[in-house]
Amino acid sequence: MTEFAGPRALRKLVDAVISLSADLELATVLQRIIDAAMDLVDARYGAIGVLDEAKSSLAEFVTAGLDPETYRAIGELPKGHGILGLLIAEPRPLRLPDLREHPESYGFPPHHPPMRSFLGVPILVRQEVFGNLYLTDKKSGEAFSDIDEELTVALAGAAGVAIENARLHARIGELVLLEDRERIAKDLHDTVIQRLFATGLSLQGTARLAERPDVRARIQDAVEDLDVTVKHIRTVIFGLETTSTRGDGLRHKTMTLTREASGALGFLPEVTFEGPIDTVVTDDICREVLATMREALSNVARHAVARHVEVYLAAGQEVVLRITDDGRGLPERPSVGLGLRNMASRAQALGGRFEARPGAAGGTVIEWAVPTRG
């Protein structure tokens, strides 16, 4: 006999759908989806795995139900193996009474809480799989029911709409920002640089008229400072113009990645660029920069207990990525974990270098650099 959801379950579904429209920031929307799904089917743990561009593994894993200590102790987040990989290969609902007994079960890492019942549902955005919603351990101790599955599938449909709305909202904000950048770049070039340049020429002429050597020296120092300022402004203009015309460049992807990482960190990292990031960094280096940045920020979120993170990315003869945090720093006898080995191997494969060192005022500095390819 087919079971039907009762009035209480339907009310909870309606409330959950309404709650998804209460925010337009993607990171917040994802967390709301998990929280709503857990409440809807009475699950102890929940997560959303966001697929990478190739739709073959997980690029991001957002969780709920784990306390901060357990989250940090688990270490590296899932990439999409085992049961989680089944939903990537076959994006359709999956319900298991005991995920440990499934032949594809990959097992749990150390410090991971035990989990038994499992319900997984794909989330579609514009008919494409955005990611998967995972729910485990129904609080009653029972397995998830077919009603639980139907309710979660319905919620996943609403989640797809909420995610698309958040993406559109972000895109609108980016377009407004790009228009402002174009205007600012034009004002800097047409007004500020020209005035600074004219002031520098005037000072140089004045220096030739000065009789005292110390006055001439001070004027020359001022001219050199103006020259440096003009160079900095030109770098800013270059960054503004390339960001305006190239939404898929490394600058844009870096800002997107750091915004995504803010959910796990609890704050938005400070980002600084230097040099022609979007023109001299090749696609293969760009991929490795982003992979290293993602791994480093994930390490900070899990282990550092940091309150501030700075991301510095420069392009010249080298592409340099430096991530600095104010967390608890490296252990006295650090073991080289998988994440650090991955970052080092990426640099070595491109003929570069990698270093993890204590910060001058505490915390940790990760520096990754590779030669620029002509």
Report the CATH architecture of 248-374. 2-Layer Sandwich (3.30)
pTM for the model stands at 0.49
Across 14-23, 100-109, 244-253, 279-288, which has the greatest mean pLDDT? 279-288
User: Phi first, then psi: what are they for 62, rounded to 5°?
Assistant: -105, 130
Q: What CA–CA distance (Å, rounded) separates 165 from 169? A: 6
What is the reported pLDDT for 230? 63
Query: Is-contact 44 186, C-beta < 8 A?
Result: no
Q: What CA–CA distance (Å, rounded) separates 10 from 4? A: 10
pLDDT digits (tens, 9 = 90+) for 270-316: 888 887 888 889 988 999 999 999 999 988 988 888 999 999 998 88
- Report the candidate in 144, 60, 134 with the shortest Cα–Cα distance to residue 91: 134
Where in the chain do CATH 3.30.565.10 domains reside? Answer: 248-374
pLDDT digits (tens, 9 = 90+) for 219-268: 777 767 666 666 556 555 555 555 544 456 888 888 889 888 888 888 98
The CATH class that applies to domain 7-168 reads: alpha beta
Q: What CA–CA distance (Å, rounded) separates 26 from 304? A: 24
DSSP state of 99: G
3 state DSSP class of 323: strand
Where in the chain do CATH 3.30.450.40 domains reside? Answer: 7-168
For tokens 């995610």, what's the residue?
163
Q: What CA–CA distance (Å, rounded) separates 166 from 159? A: 10
For tokens 């794909």, what's the residue?
122
Percent of the chain past pLDDT 70, that is, above it, reads: 72
Q: What CA–CA distance (Å, rounded) separates 197 from 226? A: 8
Residue 124 CA: distances (Å) to CA of 89, 131, 158: 14, 7, 9
- Report the candidate in 128, 78, 133 with the shortest Cα–Cα distance to residue 106: 78
How does strand 118-125 pair with strand 94-96?
antiparallel
Query: Is-contact 303 327, C-beta < 8 A?
Result: yes
